[in-house]
Each structure stands twice: as C-alpha cells, then as structure tokens.
Amino acid sequence: MLTLARAVMFTERFEYRFGWYAPDNVIRLRLETDGGVHKGDPGDKEDVPIHNHRSTQEAFRQQRDHRRRDPRGCGIGRTIVASRFRHAEEKSEMDLTSIRDAFDRVSKKQKLCYSKTNDVIDTVRQELERVAEALIEIPDGSEADDQRRAVVVELRTKLTEMGPSAQIGALEKEVNLAVSKYGKVVGKYFCTDIASAYRDVQFDTHVINRIVALHFYRQGLFDLGDSFVKESQLADGASLKAPFYQMYQILDQIRAKKLEPAISWATGHHDELRKQGSSLEFKLHQLQFINYLHQGGRGAALQYARSSFGPFASNHMMEIQRLMGCLLWAGRLQSSPYADMLAATHWDTLATEFTTECCSLLGQAHESPLHVIISAGAQALPTLVKLATVMVHKKHEWHTMKQLPVEIELGKEFQFHSIFACPVSRDQSTTENPPMLMPCGHVLCRQSIQKLAKGNFRTFKCPYCPLETTVGLCRQIHL
C-alpha cells in the first residue's frame, strides 16, 4: 500500500491531470511581434522597437528589470530550484557515463579471461592427446610398462609446471573482482530508496479502496476482490462487481469459441454500439459465419449469413462479399485465398475489442485506473527522486508546495487535460486560479484579472487590446 500511496499522492496532488507538464498540451499566449515592435509584459510601460541587436538586448533587459520588481510573476525560487535540478540532471548523465565506462571495462575483462581460459584448456587437451598417441605407439614388451610410466610422469611434470588450475582460478578471481567493483559503482550512483520522493499528502482512503477493488474485478480476480471488499468494508462492492462479472462470463465463452452470449449482448446494445461507431456486432457475426463454415459446412453458413448480415450490408458490403467467396472453398478453407480468416488471432482481437466496448458502455476507461495511476507515478518517480535530492534541505517546502518547479515528462497516454499558462503572471492555472475568458477573446488567470481590475465592479483595460471590461463579464474556462 505504500507504493500505491506514493502513486496516488502524485495524482491527487494534481487532480489526475497527468498531462499538466506535457509540452504538447500547453496552451500559451505567446508574445506578439508586429511591425518590428516587441510587445512585452503588460507591466512594461511602453513597446520597445527591436530593429537591431542592441535594442533587442534592451527589450530583454527591461523585461528582466520588471520581473525583478515584481517577483510574484517570475518565480525566482522556482528558477533557482529548476537550475539546481538541471545541474542534477547533468550530474545524472555523467553518472550514467561512468557506469557505462565501468561496464565496458568489466565486459572487456570478461572477454579477455574467457579467451585465456580457452587457451589453457586447449593446451591441456593437446598435451593429453599427445600422451595418448605416445602410449598407443609404445610396443608391447618387457620395457613397455616402464616406457608408459615415463610418458605419464612427463605429462604430470608438464601439467605441474603449467598449473592450469591455478591459471584458471586467477582468471576467475580477476573477473569476480571486476564484477564486484562494477556492483559498487552501480550501487553508488543508483538510488534504491524511493521513499525520498514521498510527500505527506492527504488522500481519501475510501476512494483508494474503491480503485483497488475495481482493479481486481476488472482483471477477473473476483475472489480476491470479494476478500478485499470485505476487509476494507466497502458498502458498494456488489455494484462494482456485477457489470464485470457478466463481462468475464462472456469473455470465457469467447475464449471457448462460443459466440452466442457475446452476440446476444451486442444485439441488446445495438443502438449504443452504433452511436459509438463500433463494428463489434458485425465482427461477431463474421467470426460466427466462419465458425459455421469450418464446422457445419456450406449450408449452415449460408443460412446464417441470410439471417444475420442484412442489417450490415450498407456499411460492410466488401467484407460480406469476401465472406460469400469463402462458400466456394467449404471444407478446404485452410488452403484457400481466405485462409487468413481462420487465424487464431481473430479470437484474441475480438476478446480485446469486446472488453473495450463493454467498458466503454459501463462508463469505464479501457485501462484500469490503478494501472494508469501506478504507471504514471512510476514514470514520474525518477524525476521526483532527483527533485527531492535537490531540495533535501528544504523539507518543509517540499512537503507543502502545491506546484512542482520542474516539468514532469509523461507519455501521451497519460495526457488527459490541457494546461494554461497565464501570459501576465507566467503561472500555470490551478483549481484556485483558473483561466478566465474576457469578452475580447483573450484569456488570463483569475488572479491576474482581479489585480488588473482592483475590484469586482471596476472596469479595466485588457493588456493585449484596447477593450475595457469588468470581472463580472469574464467567464471561467474548464480544461
């Protein structure tokens, strides 16, 4: 549960907005350049021409001075932390380089020892083969035993001088020593204690228990889910289980290549599936037709086609025509141009699509919420560990900050919301400070609008156009 708490801590703090720090989703109002004039911050007194390099530097200098006068909009503390964080990232890259170099040294040592060990073994084998040939060539007689004894004594002397066991032991010792040093290097640079990234964040235990129970039921682990519901004393456990229990009953039938329950379910939800643009119902009939043709023959398949394919003719005529071509190859479909329709992968694909559509109709995402939470948390964990290391002497600030000073790069599969960066304060919008749309079409955060208006009923001028408005005429944007 500790790992789960860390993952949920990350998501609850940011309200499940996994895409908050994804650059692809950022909504920014960029500074405009019109007619050689750089329109700076709304707090700048005048526009600055940027005809040459010197005037451009002057424009940036004025913006910098303005931010120094108003540190609330520039986030100096965040800049310092971000700088330290970038330094930590550069150090991590150097650490990885050191680890890669150490690994290369161990790899070279292992290859060298392997080659030398084979040389020692080859030398011993050659000596043994030479002695065996010498023993065979010794003729029988009164002195044969003495000659054989002399050959064996000579072999023992050479092996003693060579010392193959000692050589191989020394080589093995070198490899073990190199591996041991490499392990110390890895242990030095890799952080195995992820508890440093933990933040003391409050979350709803009841919600977490529902997510865990829902995950068990989504995975078909009904006995485990029932036990968890009982131990966590969830009152709505039965309502969580019921829809997924029916879904897995149908899935079991699909895996057993019995499509009647799935077809019955799809027929009952025909209108909902059609609104979603799903072709699941037709694919079920298509696979059932192939099943009839493969097992029952041409007559049964043709009868099923006449009774089932009519409603789908307008959207799936090409697929139906291809299915009718299969009738010519009844009994020998495996050697026909339509042999791909017998592939076992169709059943797996159909089971996956049925699960997706069923979850969609149940109002559930295709992926388990618990899986999404932990996957996003695990992907963000290295960045959080680095940030916690940088802020090791600022534990209070680390545990109380509402917004991280660095971006958390997550994959597109975790980007569910867009974000807005206020062009005045340079801050990202939050629940307490949402984006507000002004009548002129420009967007600022609520706190920026309130500062410009200096009251709820006073008019103020938009910083990007001459239109005047009031706070009451601004509307909140829900991202």
Domain count of the fold of the chain: 3
d(CA 40, CA 63): 7
Whether 10 maps to a domain, the answer reads no
**Residue where a domain stops, chosen among 191, 212, 232:** 191
The model scores a pTM over 0.75 = no
The answer to whether 415 touches 22, Cβ cutoff 8 Å, is yes
- pLDDT, position 191: 60
* Range name among 78-82, 280-284, 469-473 with the lowest pLDDT average: 78-82
- Say which residue, 413 or 22, is predicted with more confidence: 413
Whether 206 maps to a domain, the answer reads no
Q: Is residue 170 domain-shared with residue 247, that is, in the same domain?
A: no
Q: Is residue 228 domain-shared with residue 186, that is, in the same domain?
A: no
Domain extent, residue 239, equals 220-367
| Single-letter amino acid, residue 228 | F
Q: Is residue 175 domain-shared with residue 285, that is, in the same domain?
A: no
- pLDDT, position 56: 40
Q: Is residue 451 domain-shared with residue 329, that is, in the same domain?
A: no
Whether 376 maps to a domain, the answer reads no
d(CA 249, CA 253): 7
**Residue where a domain stops, chosen among 171, 191, 211:** 191
pLDDT tens for each residue of 39-85: 344 444 333 333 344 444 454 455 445 444 443 444 444 444 445 54
Whether 178 maps to a domain, the answer reads yes
Q: What is the CATH number of the domain that holds 469?
A: 3.30.40.10
Whether 45 maps to a domain, the answer reads no
Burial per residue of 226-265, b for 16 or more beta-carbon CB atoms within 10 angstroms, e otherwise: bebbeeeebeebeebbebbeebbebbeebeeeebeebbeb
Give Cα separations from 311 to 220, 281, 285, 316 (angstroms).
33, 11, 11, 9
d(CA 174, CA 166): 12
- Any residues with CB less than 8 A from the CB of 145 and at least 6 apart, and which? none
| Entry field: residues in the chain | 479
Whether 36 maps to a domain, the answer reads no
Q: Is residue 255 domain-shared with residue 324, that is, in the same domain?
A: yes
Q: Is residue 161 domain-shared with residue 98, that is, in the same domain?
A: yes
Give Cα separations from 363 to 212, 213, 360, 415 (angstroms).
17, 16, 5, 19
Residue with the two structure tokens 């304060």:
425
pLDDT tens for each residue of 244-265: 888 999 999 999 989 999 999 9
Q: Is residue 234 domain-shared with residue 172, that is, in the same domain?
A: no
pLDDT tens for each residue of 128-153: 998 888 888 888 777 788 888 888 88
Q: Is residue 304 domain-shared with residue 430, that is, in the same domain?
A: no
For the record, the structure tokens of 43 come out as 């707090």
The answer to whether 418 touches 28, Cβ cutoff 8 Å, is no
Q: Is residue 93 domain-shared with residue 182, that is, in the same domain?
A: yes
- pLDDT, position 21: 34
**Residue where a domain stops, chosen among 337, 367, 397:** 367
Whether 205 maps to a domain, the answer reads no
- Mean pLDDT for all residues in the chain: 77
Per residue, the 3-state secondary structure of the chain, as one string, reads: CHHHHHHHHHHHHCCCCCCCCCHHHEEECCCCEECCEECCCCCCCCCEECCCHHHHHHHHHHHHHHHHHCHHHCCHHHHHHHHHHHHHHHHHHHHHHHHHHHHHHHHHHHHHHHHHHHHHHHHHHHHHHHHHHHHHHCCCCCCHHHHHHHHHHHHHHHHHHHCHHHHHHHHHHHHHHHHHHHHHHHHHHCCCCHHHHCCCCCCCHHHHHHHHHHHHHHCCCHHHHHHHHHHHCCCCHHHHHHHHHHHHHHHHHHHCCCCHHHHHHHHHCHHHHHHCCCCHHHHHHHHHHHHHHHHCCHHHHHHHHHHHCHHHCCCCHHHHHHHHHHHHHCCCHHHCCCHHHHCCHHHHHHHHHHHHHHHHHCCCCCCCHHHHHHHHHHHHHHHHHHHHHHCCCCHHHHHHCCCCCCCCCCCHHHCCCCEEECCCCCCECCCCCCEEECCCCCEEEHHHHHHHHCCCCCCEECCCCCCEECHHHCEECCC
pLDDT tens for each residue of 400-410: 777 777 778 78
Q: Is residue 85 domain-shared with residue 184, that is, in the same domain?
A: yes
Looking at the predicted structure, is the pLDDT value of residue 306 above 80?
yes
Whether 409 maps to a domain, the answer reads no
- CA torsion 143-144-148-153 (nearest 10°) is -10
Q: What are phi and psi of 277, to 5 degrees?
A: 70, 25
